[in-house]
A and B are shown apart, each in its own frame.
Chain A
């Protein structure tokens, strides 16, 4: 075991892990964080807390992680390299670890153009691969990126994102290999709707033996409506929603579409469970956290292991 992370414990035990996510509120509303986290209690092994997702200002991921940690749950600190330089990021990592947060996800983040501050400076002192490398170096060598020794270095279980569907597709396996070279421990993927293409990507991963080096958790997002399916298909960069999925959502009456979305999510998990190299699921129910327990239960992933 590299860290104290509950997620790491579950993954190394060989059982399928489950994580979910919680987007912090756009204001000083700690109860909102508690409310969302409480819905997930007992159903997941870690709660990702987004970092100014879609480049919109929200309560900081670190603050929301601390709130969740104080509830006795296991937050996963998401960190984008868009907003802060390496000084700020490393100090936040130490701060997080000081509060018992031991799992994090390293991302580059959406471009500010998409958010509420398109006029903001775009930092990118590091990219996501270099952030992974930095956190790994902090943990393994006990030194900062700049080379100085850290007193009580943070032991972070390191995650990264992967999008099996972005272009160039032929580079997608190599891109993951690069994150593995940099020192990533687990990977949560973009929402998977095109299961065939995901399986093809996984084959590429297994062919190179990369599945032995990293825990891969496909992202699952239940769709609430046919409108959401169409939006994700057409508007979200790097998202692959096959026509059959949109058709299936549109094929049921409006009031039953949410249920259909949950069914699709459960069926996807059932199918992907058997794919070689899949070690768990990352269920991102966007502003719909209350549905996560149902999905976890119906997918046979409940109860969560006590470790």
Chain B
């Protein structure tokens, strides 16, 4: 999923200070799962903002709504009945959702209430970790199902650097050495001999480096 984290309240308050009526929009997809911008978080943020404004002697009118999917035009369309009653939109979706709202409602300011972080997986209750960088040319089949592009701090494709210690990355004890994980998995699979095949320089065109990307499925488009 795409993970996110709420921005500091102070930053959000500064964004919406000029307005009296806010449409606070959550998303029922990834940000709900990572507890950053689903219905629950929308309620909490609305409550916190109302109190913060009441403390200053102001009444902030907040309309709360959580869309099924904020990155999809058909769901964003649902805002059409309430958009005029708001001075600005505050979105708790990932950057994709924020942009979709901005694209659809051209004359309405939209502010992000979360920082979109990474594509990751749930490690344990309340913990998420990065797993994929969306490089556009998956090599997981060569690396035992563990991605060095996303999980090695230096995205090394040919093995661990000299800083790998007891399975941990040199940058922090909290970070596992991706190449230790890959090597352990290669051993489990009995494919250690593959390690010595040099992985040639990657073609980053399929990644962000090739410019903004697009998928067109002609049978569907």
Q: Report which A residues bind B (CB closer than 8 A).
A: 82, 86, 108-111, 113-114, 122, 124-130, 133-134, 145, 161-163, 166-168, 171, 174-175, 177-178, 181-182, 190, 237-238
Contacts and interface: CB of A to CB of B under 8 A. Distances in A.
Contact of A167 (B157, B180, B192): B180
B161 to A, nearest CB: 5
Q: Ordered nearest first, which 5 A-B pairs have the shortest CB separation?
A: A163-B162, A129-B158, A237-B170, A237-B163, A238-B162
Contacts of A128: 156, 158, 161
Given A171-B195, A181-B196, A238 B158 contact: no
B200 A111 contact: no
Contacts of B184: 168
A106 to B, nearest CB: 12
Interface string B69-89: 000000000000000000000
Interface in B151-184: 153-167, 170-171, 177, 179-180, 183-184
B211 to A, nearest CB: 15
Contacts of A109: 154
Specify the main secondary structure of chain B where it touches its partner.
loop
A133 B200 contact: yes
Interface residues of B, number: 31
Nearest to A145: B201
Contacts of A177: 196
A177 to B, nearest CB: 5
A124 B207 CA distance: 14
B198 interface: yes
B217 to A, nearest CB: 30
A238 B164 contact: yes
A145 B204 CA distance: 13
19 contacts: A108-B154, A122-B153, A122-B154, A127-B157, A129-B158, A130-B157, A130-B200, A134-B201, A166-B165, A167-B164, A167-B165, A168-B160, A168-B164, A175-B159, A178-B196, A178-B198, A181-B196, A181-B198, A238-B163
